Amino acid sequence: MNSLLYIVTREMKNTLLELVRKPARLILVLLLVAFLVAMILVSMFTGSMMEEYADLFLLKGIFFAFLLLFTLIAVRSGFTAGNTFFGMEDVNLLFVSPVSAGKILVYGLARSMSRAFLMGFFILFQTNSLRLFGVGFGGVLIFFFVFMLSLVLSFLCSVAIYRRTNGSERRKVTAAAIIAAILVPAAVYAVLLLLRGDPPMQILARLVDAPSVRGIPVAGWGMEGAMALITGDWGTAVIFIGLIVFFIAVLAVFIANGRSEYYEDVLAATETAFERRRALERNVNASAALDGKKVRVAKTGVGGIGASAIFYSHIRESLRENRFGMFNRITVIYLLVAVAASFFTRENGSCVLPLQIIMWMQVIYIGQGHGVKELYMHFIYLIPEPPFRKLLWSNLETAVRSLVEGILVFGVAGAILRDPPLLIIGAVVTYVLFSLLLIAVNCLFLRWTGMNVNAGILFLLYYLAAIFIMLPGAIPAVIMGYTVAGDAGITLALGILSLWELIAALVCFALSRGILHSCDMPAGRLR
């Protein structure tokens, strides 16, 4: 155990020394902390000014959907390569050390808690948003704490599923059937409520209070436990939070004390994660093979001259990777979110609400496009064209993909909400230009920090940077929306916001040109 404590303390010390040796990162972290403190203070002084709050059942539904998404992602990984708490350094050093498997698992769980902390840290920045429901900063901390516990349980479920189903199709089918049996009652109840024709908000209120939803492992328990803590229902809180803690302990014992060591169970996931990172240094396209995806060999060859060849190459890769072309799993997620948001606000809403939700979901997914990944390969550096032109061409495929997604997603949302065509077009244009802006901000971060925005706390700074860059366009857009009544005001507001997104994206791309001056980027190295 002393060796594990030594590793933890040494990692903490090295992290602090890294900040001291690189003042730019220290300044960014201090700015992040200052911004968080400022948001807390502002919420404390402005929260009492609100006369009425939104219903808590809406907050319950949002938190439930949030937890369910992360849980399903973890469960899906359990049927493929499993999840991992470790890195290759643990495999090479700890797994062969004279330390018991149980103690190493506790160390891995502690690491997973730190991972959950970073993944859920953005919840702390939702203080003002949660004020709409009458929830103070204490409630924000509760959501943060429950999210961390739920994420750790999801990790453990992934490892346990992989351990029991690996190499046996029959067991995989059985496990899938059990998971479906858990979710089906809630889905059936939701369909029955829809068939009754109740108002959308009434359906949501009944749904989040239904035993079939509250009893869903991880997502239902976390939702009910968090809301019970916030409302002071201590008995209910003890039951549901206790369930999460109890099953964390049960699964940890199951993994550590099974018929064989768990090392082999997590080794495949650890190696896959490591190879995926290393593939970025050599060739990003190799990561598709690591996921076990079949590459469809369709048409070959690319078009274009100079930097434009990158765009045609990305289009060809998209068509080969996915039989639906520009549509992928993320598109399906966006569509489901837009349909749900439109359905529950169809009485007096517009497609602006699903647009807002999906725009901030883009912040998470936008870095997975071909444009940013192109920077990890050598081809773009060898094209004898101006850097600004190469950056634009390398990210044009993302803009085209966003256009196709936007037409589908907001076309469906607009049809549900019966929005005028001009408003739907405004939503699509805003969505596309916001995608381009996020790519530009991503490149800007790589240019000035040498790190990918997915690198831990840097993602939070990237998230805040996107907010600050949007403010000069968002403020006049909001004023216009309130000044001019009706759909015309909303359409004009979207036009103003789109114009600012275009200007800001071009400025960020121009400031990022230096990213192509050297192919030896720190972001492409293993850490």
Q: Tell me: the pLDDT tens digits for 164-190?
A: 776 677 888 888 888 888 888 888 888
What's the distance, Cα to Cα, between the start and end of the chain in Å?
Answer: 26
Which tokens go with 141? 């901390």
Give pLDDT tens digits for 454-505: 555 566 667 777 778 888 888 888 888 778 777 788 888 888 989 998 999 8
Rounded CA separation 257/423 (Å):
59
Distance CA 221, CA 228 (A): 10
Token couple for 313: 């190459």
Distance CA 80, CA 67 (A): 21
Predicted TM-score (pTM) above 0.75: no
Report the distance separating Cα 138 and Cα 434, nearest Å: 33
Torsion of CA 289, 77, 107, 3, to 10 degrees: -20
Contact 273, 291 (CB under 8 A): no
Distance CA 264, CA 267 (A): 5
Written as tens digits, the pLDDT of the chain (527 aa) is 577 777 777 777 777 777 777 666 677 677 767 766 776 666 665 554 444 555 778 888 888 888 888 888 778 776 765 556 666 777 777 777 777 766 777 777 677 667 666 666 667 666 666 777 777 778 888 888 898 888 888 888 887 787 777 667 788 888 888 888 888 888 888 888 888 877 777 888 888 888 888 889 988 999 999 989 988 888 889 999 999 999 988 888 877 665 445 566 666 666 666 665 555 444 444 444 444 455 555 556 666 677 788 888 877 777 776 666 667 778 888 888 888 888 777 767 678 888 888 887 777 666 556 776 777 677 777 788 887 788 788 888 888 888 888 899 999 988 888 888 888 898 899 998 988 888 888 777 777 665 555 555 566 667 777 778 888 888 888 888 778 777 788 888 888 989 998 999 888 888 877 777 654 444 444 33
Separation between Cα atoms, residue 343 and residue 334, nearest integer Å: 14
Contacts of 334 (CB under 8 A, 6+ apart): 358, 361, 405, 409
Tokens of 266: 């997590």
- Contact of 226 with 142, CB cutoff 8 Å: yes
Amino acid at 285: N
Which tokens hold the place of 149?
A: 């516990």
User: Which strand (E) or helix (H) includes residue 176?
Assistant: helix 169-196
